[in-house]
Every structure is written in structure tokens, then in C-alpha cells.
Structure 1
Amino acid sequence: MAENQRAIDARATEATPLLQNGKDGQNQHYNLAGLSQTTFWILCLSMWIAAFLVAFDGTVVAALIGPISSSFNATNEASWLGTSYLLAVCCVSPIYGRLCNVIGRQASMLIAVVVFAIGNILCAVAPTMNILIAARFIAGLGGGGLQVTSSTITSDIVPLSYRGLFQVSVLCCLTVPRLILSLQGYANITFGIGTGLGAPIGGFVNDWLGWRWAFWLQAPTFVVAFIAVFFFVRYDVPSSKRATQTPLEMLKRIDFAGCLLLFGWLGCAILVLSMKTEATDDSLSWTSPRILGLIITSVILFLVFLVVEFKLVKEPVLPIDLLGRRTPIACFVNNFFISIVIFGTLYTVPLYFSAVLQMSSTETGLRFMPAPLIGICTSIGVGYLVKVYGKYKWLCFLGGLDGILGAFLITLWRIDSPNWQTWTFWQVSAPSGSAVTTLTVVALIADVGREGIAMATSLSYVARMTGQVVGVSMSGAVIQTVLARDLPRRITGPGSIEIISSIRKSSAAIKELSTDLQFAARMSYQKATHTVFVIQVVMCVLYTLAGLGIEEVDMKAINETAPPSRDEEAEQGLPSSDGPFNGRQ
């Protein structure tokens, strides 16, 4: 114990992790860094504020996507509010992991807080839709960093045996079976609170003050987070083997090429869908030079991405070695499709409420609240069952069946559906997202062993982030495609072209139409969103079937030895993969 304390007191670079020191987590105090009680809890509070910020911001935008886009007469571009943010997170998250070891935890998190704050302030003052989309991209550059750095700092100051209290760790299913997994992590509870409050508060603020205030009201929290990080993320950590590497050597380990190529080919593919489906006339065909050029560019960048990941980098964003194994590929496909479902639904349901049912932003936001609470309860239950029985495959399958049922019930929504259906049907599939994403990470880690934890989580990260981007962009593309075909069939006569264009650009314009035209527009939006919901049912079936490819490992047969440092996972830029809201940034 004396040696342990001397190691903790040793002066070393703040850029290195703390987890190598100390005895078995069951015998350690929760304050691994030896900080004062006040400093420790303020530091934890800083991490929880970061989790709250990311969750709150994400659901605010999703819930207000209709009012925000309508205010710019750009509902046909609404999906870009989510897509631009997620593209930025996808590109920058792996880089932050390495930066934590190169420039330190404090500097990395301060950069993330400042960039996230700048992005949100720009959202509040954005004069045009294009500037707002760019501001969401900037916010994503900071939001991705907040997830990575807060997870890394938590790993530094809290030992594994207590980390289940501070951020629920699926690794505990493997390494600390004695830990009571039914204890929900404080960080993920905070994330759940942010997810649950973001939409109703954002809706209320929009109805009373306007949507811009939903961004302005976050500013004080940014200030608190910056001050807390600046004054309290100053702990010293003992050196590790990574401290022998120079900053340049650590920077060289970042797969910059993979991150940029992933961003490039995804961005070009999404831009094709955007340009083709958002055009309110027939000026762009599939054979137009711009569309063909983007398609060719996307294909080339994708092929180059594969070459780089297969041949040229030692630590790729996409761990190719795992894709030849049954369980990793099953989990990859599962995570990809479930992320499409979660984010496609997250950005489509609010549009359905506002355009089809003509709900206020407050009414829409209130319907977001139950899902995070259900997710927390599901996480508790799943963690307990895995701990007790050591099985996960059929739990994952049952979660998939729940997702199919919930997605099917949403397809039953109609323009005259009773109010109770809009409250309950959306919540049925809430357990599926938290259960399946958590259990597939457990399956990955059980399959690859402790030495492959970082690669396994990286694989899950790439699948989820790609699926999230595709889910938001695809749902927007489908909605605009259906509207472009259905509105001209329902609205004809003098001035119909202008009316149709205004409806596609602003769902709020529906309220200004005559009763007959309102009904026609609402029916078109119902058909468009219903098409997305049907596609989501198919996606649910696909991720459920993919889960059947998982090979189950007896969790109770795994030795209770300490896992490798969480720093290896952090260096790859991996936000915590545990907890109930893996699919909801």
C-alpha cells in the first residue's frame, strides 16, 4: 500500500493515465488519484456537466428540427442539422483520444469545451440555414471531444471497481463480477437527465422565446464547465510506458488519413442524397455532372479508405483484423443497423408530431422524456442479468424483437390517432436500443479477450457513428423524395407550384393554408414519415438477425484479472461504450 501511495504522489506528466497503479479494484478507494474530497467531487461534477451538455444539446436540436428549419424556409435541408454534427463527431473523436496523451487531459478538454461553446453560440446567431449547418459541424468538433476526454479523465481518477458507479462499465461483466452491475453510473444518469430534459425544455423555450434561446441558455453551463476544468483538472499521474514516447511519436499513431477519408466518402455520399432529394425542381438528374462527380468521388475515397485501413496504418480507425471473425462482424452489422434506426427515428418522429399532428414544440418535447428513463432501467436490468447468468446472446435477440415491435407500432400512427398512442408506441422500443448496443459490446469483448478491448470498441464505434450519419441523412432523403412525388398529386391548380415549394421548405407554412390544403399537406407528410417508419422496421429485422450470428462465451468462465489500461481505449478516441444511450449523442 505504501508503494501505491508513493506512486500516486510521484510527480509526472499530466498527459499519462493513472490506471496502471494500484491493487485490485475491489480493495481500492474510489479516489484513485489521491485528490482532496472537494477536488475529486468537483472534478467528477465537471465530467457530468460535460455529459449533460452533449445529451441536452442533441435532443434540443432533434426536438426543434421542425421549427428551426421552418424559420429559414429550409425544412427540405433539416436533416443536415443532425448529419453535419455527427459527421464532425465521426471525424474528430479518434483524434481527441491521442491528444489526451500528447497535450494533456486539461488542454484537450478545454479545447473541446471552447469549440463546443463556439459552435452553439454560432447556432444561436446564425442568419442563414447554411451558416447554422456549419455551426452544428463546429459544435460536433467539440461535442465529440467532450465525450472522449470526460471518459478518459474518469478512467484516470476512478478505479475499475468503482467505475461502475461513475460510468457504467460493461467491462465489469468480464473483470469484476462481484461488482453490482445494477448500480447505474452517475455519468450515464446525468446523460439520461440531459437527454430527457433537452427536448421538453427546448420545446418550452421555443414556444415562449424562440428556438435561438435554446442555444443561448446553454451558455452559462459552458462557462461553469470551463472554469471547473481549468481549475480542477490539474492532478498529477504516475508515468506509464506511453510516457517514454515523444509527442510526435504519439501523434504519428493517430490515423488522420482514416478519419479524413471516412469523413470524405461519407460526406460525398450524403451530399448526393441531399442535392438530389432536396431540390424543389428537376434541375438535378442522376446524370448531371455535379451528381456524377460526387458519386465517383465518394467511391474513390471509399476504396482509398479501405486500402489505407488494410495496408498502410498500424492502428486503423476500422480494425480490419476483427472483420474476419464471426462475432465481430455480427456485432458490426448489428450496431450499424440499430444506429440507423435510433437516429432515423430520433429526427423523424419530431417532424411527424409538428407537421402531421401540428403539435407545439412543448408537446413534442414532453414525449421525449420517458425514453431515457426506460433506457436507464433497461441498463440496470441487463447488467444484472448478465452478471447473474453470464449469458447475453438471447437477451440481445429479445431486445431485437422489442425493437421490431416498437417500430411496427409506430407505423400504425395516423393523422387521427388518439393521443395515448403518440405517448406509448414510441416508448415500446426504448429498451431495445440500450440493451442491444450494450450487449453487443459485451459480446465483442468476450470474443476478442482483454487484449483486444480497444480494437473491439473501435469497431463498435465506427459501426455506430456510420449508422448514425446514414440514419439521419437517409430519413431526410426519403421524406423529401416522397413529398416531391406526393404533394403534386394532392395539390393542383393555380399557384400550386409555389404552395408545394413553401410546404417542402417550411412545415410551419401548413398552418397558413386553407383547411383543405392543410389536410392535403399533412397527409403528404404522413405518407413521407410513414415510409421512413416502414424502412425502420426492416432495419430492426436486419439488426436482430445479425445478432443471431454472435457466438456466446460463458462469462463465468473468464478469469477475474485486471483488464488492460483504459488508456488504450481512450487513445483511439472512443467515448464510453457502456451505459444506456450508446446510440443517442
Structure 2
Amino acid sequence: MPTETLDRRRTLVVISGLMLVMLLASLDQTIVSTALPTIVKELGGLEHLSWVVTAYLLAVTAVTPLYGKLGDLFGRKIVLQGALLLFLAGSALCGLAQGMTELIAFRFIQGLGGGGLMVSAQAAVGDVVPPADRGRYTGLFGAVFGVSSIAGPVLGGFLTTHVSWRSIFYVNLPLGVLALIVLAVTLPSMTERRSHKIDYAGTVLLAAGLSAIILMTTLGGNTYDWASVQIVGMGVVGVACLIALTFVERRAAEPILPPALFRNRVFVVTSAVGFVVGFGLFGALTYLPLFQQTVRGLSPTASGLQLLPVMGGLLVSSIVSGQVIARTGRYRPFPIAGTAIAALGLWLLSSLDETTGSGVAAFHMLILGLGLGLVMQVLVLVVQNSVPYDMLGVATSGSTLFRSIGGSLGTAILGAIFSGRLAAETAAGDPQVTAFVDSLHVVFLVATAVMGVAFLLSWLIPQQPLRKSVDPTVVGDTLGGPVDTDSLRELTRCLSRAAGRERTLAFMRGVVERAGLDLSPSASWALVRLGAPEAPSVADLAALPHVRTDKLALAMGELRDGGLVAGDRVTPAGVEMRVRLVDARTEALRELIDDWEPDRFPELDPLLRRLAVELSPVPA
């Protein structure tokens, strides 16, 4: 079998393992929604039902800023394997839980691993895929996230109906072990490390502050009076942690939420809108199955299928709006229309009762999904289009972080409203179905009001010329999970996706001609790599994933024949050629970024020089 086929097959095996890891983590955000009524029947604790979802989302949100940097420091393979083991341990414990408190605690453990899976799996793509192909593969992970959002409730309902609710956690074990074996055998252990100053204090303060506020809103008025010492204490702790976070972030070398971001109006507005969208999306996905099963008497499987209009509408409107934005360059109308349509959908859902037909309920859910898709498609795009290039990575991470925070808080707050209203209705002697209907009516009315706030905020999003490096047609940015990335990694992803491999190859040939060199793309790649400050050997280059040794040998022969390399070392003539080549690549990359102005974006030039080395086709 040709070496090229073997290399491609090995890469696909690794990518398949990483996608399986991503699928496991993202499924567990929604798979429990249709099992919740059955779990409550067995374990009790209806008033804490939302925490089964919230605990997982909160843990994912808390650890997202850590895993990417840990992977850079210690190697993504070992960090990914550790996260997978933690996730599987949490899954096994969830399946063994004998009470609601145990289940919530074990879901938090599962989320600590799940957040690492989402971040590390996406980052590990860079270890096995050349930069020129990276955009195409990372887009697949967003698609996996989108599919899991649809499949989660359906699969959860099916397993709950035909096996047991515990099986929704146990199913992770064989799949996770399979992924562990595949990645252990095929995922390379990269020796390259990036130095980071991890913001441990910021991470702890953010997690503690969010946890305290979520506990306060969940327990206040239900377990404890709002004026009780416990609730007031949680509120004080939560606010104090978040205030302390603002001071810590000013001093942190690599803050998870740099204060400079909050001086960017676009980031502030889009983060607020994303927060509310996460609030509405996860709140709806948590309580719609409860309505379908408790009020309409549907099975868990049927209630899962009833959620398809929400996610189907979201996918359709995301794709359509992306295509329109790509053609027109105008994105501002979409979040305005999307939040209005989503608010309408939530208001219509507030009218659901035991007499509502399946068709009517599906139509209302479709409207909600269509609205959410119009908003979510734009948020990451607008942020990437508005921040300075040296903040591209942290702004992208921050945008998805606020969406995750919104999901955590939304699920908890709507859960507290539901529990409080249900307790009051039940105490008043109302029948159970009536009490459920009235409680859910209030939940969706509150969600409608919150989405109305997002509608008002969306008018503050400015319209700016669309950068060529931003691709609005990629649904992965819309539905993807939380990310932790840096500016170079994000810029590489954007530019490689915008160009594609074939255009990148043509681009590199043009660069060689511009530099006045008679070199093949493979030889130019080898020259740039060998002349890097870390001075790798030819054996080091041959050991890199996706590098074909036969092509590398031809490239080295070309360089030696031209007197540019002697042995493993670049000659003085080679050093001069490398400088010309990197300069030509940098200049060509500047032309791909049409809004680059040296005075306006001084931070971009060093990024492009680094990218001139990173973004090039390897001898594959």
C-alpha cells in the first residue's frame, strides 16, 4: 500500500478518535434532558432537577480556560487521556448514583473531564493535521457538536425507555475505552511545548463566583428564605469572588478574561447576547421534555423526538444566514431578527398545555430554533471581525465562555423558578398536571422576557466591513463547544479555512516565485523549518505527523544540490534564502488580510511572521 494512503488512513483514524471524544462530551450536555422525569421518579429531588444539567455545564465552563494551556505545557496527548479517564470515572459514578445529591456531584466530576475533552480534542487536531488543512477538519468538530445537540435528547429518551436511565451514562464506558485505545496507539506525543502562565487564581474565582450565585438563585425561596443567612452569604461570596476576579485579571500574565476585552463595545454586547442565548437554549432543552412526559404523557423516546424541530430549525437558519452574510457582507440584521423570533417562540411555548397537539408544539419549537440559529451564527463572527488580531484567540474563547455561563445560569435560574412555582401550586391543592402546566408557563414567560432583553441589546451590534479571514458559512463556529485558543492558532485556523489546501499550495508557489527562488513547496517548507531558532534535525522533521519521508528526502536532496543545506544544517546561502522566503510569505499573507494597516494593527506583523512559518504545506 502506498505511503500516502497509509499516512492518510492513520490521520483519519486519529481524527475519528478525536471526534468520538468530542461526541461523548457534547452528548452529555443534552442526553439527560429526556431522562430527567424518570430520574426524579426513582431518586426524588424534583426541586433540584435542573442541577443534573447545571452541574455538568458549570464544570465544563470552569475548566475550559485551563485545558488548552495545560495541553501546550505538558502535551495534549497526556492531558486528553487524563480528561477522558476523569470523564469515564464520572460517567460510571453517575450510573451508580443512589440519590439526587450523589448524581449532581458525580455529574460535576463528569463535567470536569468533559470540558477537557472538548478543548483538548479540538487542539489535538493541530498535532496530526498540517496547518493548510486544519480549517477543514476543525469545522467537523462543530458539526459533531451540532449533531450531538440533536441526537442527545433522542438517544437519551431511547435508552431510558428501552434500557434504563443509568444506561445513558454507562454507554460512555465502552465508547470511551475504544477512544482511549485508539488515541493511545495513534495520537503522537508532541515534544514541542509552549510556555504559559496559567491563571489559576482567575479560574478558581470565576468558578467559585458562578457556583455561589447559581446556588443562591437555586436555593433561594425554595430550600431557604431569601433573607436567610445562607442565601445572603452565598450572594456576598459570589459578588466578592467576581469583584476579586476583576483585580486578579489586571495582574495576570495570561488572564482568562483580559480587562481590555471589556473596553471593546462589540465584545461586551455580543457576550451579553450570547449569555442570553445560552440561557434560553439550555433552559428550553431542559424543560420541554419535562412538559412532554409529565403533561402530555409521552415516553422518553417520543419526548426526545419532539425536540428535533428546535435543533433542526437552528441548523437550517444557521446555514442559510451564513450563506447570505457571505454574499452580502451584512450581519447586523440577523441577531436583531433572531432574538425577536426566538422571543416569539418562547412566548408561544408558554401557551403549551395538556390539550396542545403535537403539530402545534412542533411548530412553536421550530420557531424557537429558527430564531436561535440566526443569532448564534453571528456572535463569534462579529467578535472575530472587531477585535485586534493579538486578541483574536482570547476574544473567541471569551465569547464561547459567556455562552456556556449563560447555559449554566439559565438552567439553574429557570429551575429555581419552576420549583418555587410548583411548590406553591401544589400547596394550594392544584392537580399535578395543572401545577406543572402553570409552572412551565411561568418558566417560558421569564425566558421570553430575558430574550426580549437580548433583542434590545442586539440593536447595539454595529455593522463593520467583513474581514476576508472570517468565514460566515461555517456552522462549527455557531454550534461548537467551548474553546481555549490563542491568537496565532485562531488566525491559522481562519486563514487556512479561507484558503483551503489547493489554494494554499498555489499561494506557496506564488510566494516562491515572488522571493525569486526556484524551489518546490516541499523544499521551501524544509528550508524554513530547518532554519528555525530551535534548529531541528532532518530526523526531527521526519518524525512529525503527516510528513512523508520519501517526499522529505526529495526536498532535502533539492536543498543540498542547491547548496542551501549541508548535512542537517542550513548554509549561509540557505539562511539568506530563508529570510527572503519568510519575508515573501509574510507579505503575501498581508495581502490576504485586506484590512491590515501597520499603524492600526501593529501587533499583526509579528503574528504574520510566525504564521509565515506555520501555514505552509508539508511534504505529504
Deviation of 1:294 after TM superposition, in Å, equals 2.0
Relative to structure 1, the CA distance from residue 166 to residue 116 in structure 2 (aligned partners, 3 Å threshold; closer, same or farther) is same
Which residue of 1 is the match for residue 240 of structure 2? 300
Deviation of 1:293 after TM superposition, in Å, equals 2.3
2:38 equivalent among 67, 82, 85: 67
1:81 equivalent among 49, 52, 63: 52
CA distance in 2, matches of 1:165, 1:559: 14
Structure 1, residues 317-375: CA drift from partner, whole Å, max 9, x if none? 22221212221111121111111111111111111222222221111111123433433
Relative to structure 1, the CA distance from residue 196 to residue 531 in structure 2 (aligned partners, 3 Å threshold; closer, same or farther) is same
Which residue of 2 is the match for residue 270 of structure 1? 214
Deviation of 1:198 after TM superposition, in Å, equals 2.3
Which residue of 1 is the match for residue 435 of structure 2? 524
Which residue of 1 is the match for residue 252 of structure 2? 313
Structure 1, residues 388-424: CA drift from partner, whole Å, max 9, x if none? 2222111222222221222122122122111212222
Deviation of 1:51 after TM superposition, in Å, equals 2.3
Which residue of 2 is the match for residue 205 of structure 1? 159
Deviation of 1:569 after TM superposition, in Å, equals 5.4
Aligned amino acid, residue 260 of structure 1:
V
Which residue of 2 is the match for residue 9 of structure 1? none
CA distance in 2, matches of 1:75, 1:46: 37
What does 1:431-470 correspond to in 2, within 5 Å?
431-470=370-409
Relative to structure 1, the CA distance from residue 392 to residue 412 in structure 2 (aligned partners, 3 Å threshold; closer, same or farther) is same
Aligned amino acid, residue 415 of structure 1:
E
Contact kept, 8 Å, 2:385 with 2:467, in 1: the verdict is: no
1:223 and 2:177 equivalent? yes
CA distance in 1, matches of 2:297, 2:229: 39
Secondary structure of the corresponding residue to residue 358 of structure 1: coil
Relative to structure 1, the CA distance from residue 459 to residue 204 in structure 2 (aligned partners, 3 Å threshold; closer, same or farther) is closer
Relative to structure 1, the CA distance from residue 236 to residue 138 in structure 2 (aligned partners, 3 Å threshold; closer, same or farther) is closer
Which residue of 2 is the match for residue 551 of structure 1? 462
CA distance in 1, matches of 2:488, 2:358: 44
Contact kept, 8 Å, 2:390 with 2:487, in 1: the verdict is: no
CA distance in 2, matches of 1:445, 1:163: 18
CA distance in 2, matches of 1:571, 1:164: 11
CA distance in 1, matches of 2:151, 2:468: 41
Contact kept, 8 Å, 2:33 with 2:156, in 1: the verdict is: no
- Structure exhibiting the larger radius of gyration computed from Cα positions: 2
Relative to structure 1, the CA distance from residue 105 to residue 340 in structure 2 (aligned partners, 3 Å threshold; closer, same or farther) is same
CA distance in 1, matches of 2:189, 2:329: 37
Aligned amino acid, residue 259 of structure 2:
I
Aligned amino acid, residue 188 of structure 2:
R
Normalising by structure 2, report the TM-score. Answer: 0.72
CA distance in 1, matches of 2:40, 2:424: 21
CA distance in 1, matches of 2:69, 2:470: 30
1:490 and 2:434 equivalent? no
Which residue of 1 is the match for residue 98 of structure 2? 127
1:411 and 2:388 equivalent? no
CA distance in 2, matches of 1:338, 1:201: 24
Q: Which runs of 5+ in 2 are unaligned?
A: 472-483, 498-620
Which residue of 2 is the match for residue 39 of structure 1? 10
Which residue of 1 is the match for residue 146 of structure 2? 192
2:318 equivalent among 368, 376, 379: 379
What does 1:232-243 correspond to in 2, within 5 Å?
232-234=186-188, 236=190, 243=194
Deviation of 1:527 after TM superposition, in Å, equals 0.9
1:137 equivalent among 90, 108, 112: 108
CA distance in 1, matches of 2:485, 2:13: 22
Aligned amino acid, residue 165 of structure 2:
W
Secondary structure of the corresponding residue to residue 412 of structure 1: coil
Relative to structure 1, the CA distance from residue 410 to residue 41 in structure 2 (aligned partners, 3 Å threshold; closer, same or farther) is same
Structure 1, residues 181-217: CA drift from partner, whole Å, max 9, x if none? xxxxx33333333232222222122122220112212
1:104 and 2:75 equivalent? yes
1:393 equivalent among 322, 325, 332: 332
CA distance in 1, matches of 2:287, 2:446: 12
Structure 1, residues 451-473: CA drift from partner, whole Å, max 9, x if none? 22112113213321221111010
Q: Which runs of 5+ in 1 are unaligned?
A: 1-30, 169-185, 492-519, 561-565, 580-585
Aligned amino acid, residue 211 of structure 1:
W
CA distance in 2, matches of 1:567, 1:410: 37
Contact kept, 8 Å, 1:99 with 1:108, in 2: the verdict is: yes
Which residue of 1 is the match for residue 121 of structure 2? 150
CA distance in 2, matches of 1:231, 1:570: 29
1:479 and 2:418 equivalent? yes
CA distance in 2, matches of 1:163, 1:436: 26
Which residue of 2 is the match for residue 337 of structure 1? 276
CA distance in 2, matches of 1:344, 1:139: 20
Q: Percent identical across equivalent pairs?
A: 26
CA distance in 2, matches of 1:569, 1:70: 48
Aligned amino acid, residue 231 of structure 1:
V
Aligned amino acid, residue 461 of structure 1:
T
RMSD: 2.6
Relative to structure 1, the CA distance from residue 201 to residue 556 in structure 2 (aligned partners, 3 Å threshold; closer, same or farther) is closer
Moved more, 146-155 or 289-298: 289-298
Relative to structure 1, the CA distance from residue 559 to residue 307 in structure 2 (aligned partners, 3 Å threshold; closer, same or farther) is closer
1:425 and 2:364 equivalent? yes
CA distance in 1, matches of 2:58, 2:488: 20
Deviation of 1:146 after TM superposition, in Å, equals 0.8
Contact kept, 8 Å, 2:396 with 2:485, in 1: the verdict is: no
Relative to structure 1, the CA distance from residue 222 to residue 559 in structure 2 (aligned partners, 3 Å threshold; closer, same or farther) is closer
